[in-house]
Structure 1
């Protein structure tokens, strides 16, 4: 039995903006009902208080409308990469270490999607509800617009998952390691903040794909700083591994269980597991799951599984993994089945994400005790270079037993709470019923139209001239438009992308 435990998220923050409230995270969203007559509906795009920039729809879109390249096919395709000028900035920084980051007050920041105070952000980590607020950690590179291996753990707190206070960097690499990569947080004694433990991936040259698991303890009740301890887990001998990283820790009966993402040199992705009675000494306990024991069928499984998460919903267990292949991040999968004696027996796999947006899911339990997921959304960046990367809005999880234990995703109630002035905040929440579509027209920052169409159970998202198709969408389809980022939730899968060039 695996109860819901606080979990693991990557963080960012920087000295110049420590403890400052985010000026652009003010409000909840107000649902905007769409017409049910089957016509394409156009909604104003976020304008930061400016007048709507969308034009009215004059006719229903036909099968030959939209941006479609001659060699385009109608099947699922990944969303395109960031525009060339953003990538040029990234390449320049990799080669010359140029700092192009701007301060927290950039007007192009999203309103309800978390961003670092400045610089790069990726995986969320260690989200924990305690003392009336959420603790969030995340992978961060302050002052940099491109990833490099010297990642830190940033830290922020929020009473409502929307309004965040940034804190100083919680963990950063020292002389004995190159980076503090992803991991998890466990709080064994809910009454004692100092009982918390962070287990993170410590990496160094020459092979950063094979990390080690290092322990850190809080230096204060507010979890502002963490004291790094010793390495507690290394890649197990005898396993021919190519990848080993991203530990998380769960309570399993009368002992603790650690999961670590892994990949074998023969291309088999896996989650390895270790056990401990005291959170200090860990013993290798074999393979929790892999494609050898739980094949994913036609779904892309990757060559390694990153950011493993194991949670229980009712009587069922859900294993969530992020797939990695050829050095590239890909999709997030969920496997529903049973967990017993350290082994996860997946009976049904499901693809939770489509396209090049959502990745690195982390599980947490909200203030109401409900299981949730939070994602990193890739390829979203400030047009002026202030920040790169956002976190998704949180999603509550449930199982639809009528559809063979299918995992259902719903935007968190904190995001959808009615009554807020969504037009003032520049955020749109659109709800699509089957037979409807929305079409965001071009703007100065996004010269390519964006369309989300829901028809006969299929959601088609067109952006930058490419299409992402999600079949068997139960709906209703939620579309969140938040300045530079769009999220589409089909009920069982997510699509996310940036809107700026």
Structure 2
């Protein structure tokens, strides 16, 4: 199988073709997965098929309308490279029009603990889906696949877990080697509980413990629990992910996480801090891939939208995209000059070709100068390394700004740095889409490196921007919507004062997809 690494300005790209090729005048992203038509939200059942060398994603899907509505299905797509996705047929369908196949996960039952498989099914393709069914109340059900994840048969004795609740959903299941059992984390959403269950066979579940901590919001959703390595050591920690919606600190939807230890029964955090995965408004319901080779690390995808406005964004026959795949690791990071905290490090993973490149180094930027780049496709990446050398002398007047605009310059987003607050901001208000919850200005505090430098990597993909600060210590994902036919094809780095910012390097790559 192929080994993935972070593609930050590497010229060793492979040419790929996007699964959802944009039509003329269509602002559909090319690097981020989008459905052919209809509505998509949470990613579900992510797994890697070792035998076929194939990545599978499933997702909450309404193929009939571009908004959330029942019946709700599991949509399906596959990829050889985590970049080019092929649309597949519906994977799991509800039995009635007034119900949905809600969020869940997939495991590979290598040892046939469930008894669903015979020797004709390769152990690496013994696919079992665990999902929430909401026919009347919310229960956890099973379905298994005999063809590697394309079609599913529902278990005749569903549900396998029923606590008589209308707010009990989103199971994430994995095999815990140390305790020799399947583990399920699932939420009692409006009781703010992540419940941990164990099973020998995926059919019979025993309650182990509750985890109740964090920023509450209105409800918990889409939990996850996975072991993640600590960079530069032979150690690892377990990370508990919990989505909240509505009630995020930035409004609407977000993901929080907790770092700790797990013994097969109970998750114990190492501290009482609530950490947030992404500081933007459009990163929710993340899920990690199952059955990934150790060399490929811990990989995850999220829904790149927000429930505050997801049903109303100005796309035509389709709505929503998924984030880029991210590789997760842990490292000790300076939260301020006096404290280091163990932190989730996030690195984007994708493969594409480079169509055009611009790179400049060692520049002290003046107010009369700018660094300009054009990317006709509306798809490009950039990496910026800089220091603020005298900006505090001018209080809030000195900013470093990257304007990303349409070809005519009339529509734009603005990404910049304020040296007084040591904060980065994104302003998406100069675009035509207006919604009271579509926050125009967002910000993120980022601690500089020990020498005062900042490093930012960004991916712009037609109507979404993903930002990674200081090698993935902080991430920020936001959508934006230019008018039909306009794409973010120009980038301009500038400042409003002379000799305030030293640009160690700035690089742009237009990406060919």
TM-score (norm 1): 0.69
Verify: 1:371 aligned to 2:298, yes or no. yes
Q: Please name the residue that 1:136 is paired with.
A: 57
Q: 1:326 to 1:472 in 2, by over 3 A?
A: closer
Taking a change above 3 Å as real, the CA distance of residues 29 and 382 of structure 1, as seen in their structure-2 partners, is farther
Q: Which residue number in structure 1 is paired with residue 444 of structure 2?
A: 470
In structure 2, the partner of 1:126 is 45
Conserved? CA contact 1:108–1:382, under 8 Å: no
Cα pair 2:44 2:103 within 8 Å, conserved = yes
Which secondary structure state, in structure 1, belongs to the residue aligned with residue 91 of structure 2? strand
| Unpaired runs of at least 5, structure 1 | 1-27, 33-101
Deviation at 1:441, TM superposition (A): 3.2
What's 2:117 paired with? none
SS of the residue 1:303 aligns to: coil
Pairing partner for 2:424 from 442, 459, 465:
459
Q: Deviations over 1:131-160 (max 9, x none)?
A: 212111111111311101321111111111
Where does structure 1 differ by over 6 angstroms across 4 or more consecutive aligned residues? none
Provide the residue aligned with 1:70 in structure 2.
Answer: none
1:98-113 mapped onto 2 (5 Å cutoff): 105=23, 107-113=26-32
Q: Give the CA deviation at 1:455.
A: 4.4
Q: Does 1:263 align with 2:189?
A: yes
Which has the larger Rg?
Answer: 2
| Cα shift at 1:176 | 8.7
Tell me if the contact between 2:244 and 2:254 (Cα under 8 Å) persists in the aligned partners: yes
Deviations 1:351-406 (A, max 9, x none): 11234311010112655431122110115788551210000111111112243211
Question: What is the rounded CA distance, in whole Å, between the counterparts of 2:109 and 2:196 in structure 1?
Answer: 19
For 1:246 and 1:226, the matched residues in 2 are separated by 18
Q: Is 1:405–2:342 an aligned residue pair?
A: yes
Q: Which residue of 1 aligns with 2:508?
A: none
Residue of structure 1 in register with 2:497 after alignment: none
| Distance of aligned partners of 1:419 and 1:355 in 2 relative to their CA distance in 1, 3 Å threshold | closer
**Kept after mapping to 1: 8 A contact 2:241/2:257:** yes
Alignment partner, residue 76 of structure 2: 155
Tell me the CA shift for residue 274 of structure 1: 1.5
Paired residue total: 384
Q: CA deviation at 1:408?
A: 1.1
Alignment counterpart, residue 339 of structure 1, candidates 240, 262, 265: 262
Q: Which residue of 2 aligns with 1:305?
A: 220
Q: Distance in 2 between matches of 1:341 and 1:192?
A: 24
Matches within 5 A, 1:161-240: 161-175=82-96, 178-189=99-110, 191-192=122-123, 195-205=126-136, 210-218=137-145, 220-229=146-155, 230-236=157-163
Whole-angstrom CA distance in 2 between matches of 1:160 and 1:401: 30
**TM-fit CA distance, 1:246:** 0.3
Instruction: State the secondary structure of the residue aligned to 1:122.
Output: strand
Q: What RMSD, in angstroms, separates the aligned Cα atoms of the two structures?
A: 3.1
- 255-264 or 491-500, larger mean C-alpha shift: 491-500
Name the CA distance, whole Å, in 2 between partners of 1:409 and 1:176: 39
Is 1:439 the counterpart of 2:403? The answer is yes
- Cα pair distance change 1:103/1:163, threshold 3 Å: closer
Three-state SS of the structure 1 residue aligned to 2:201 is coil
Give me the TM-score of the superposition, normalised by structure 2: 0.68
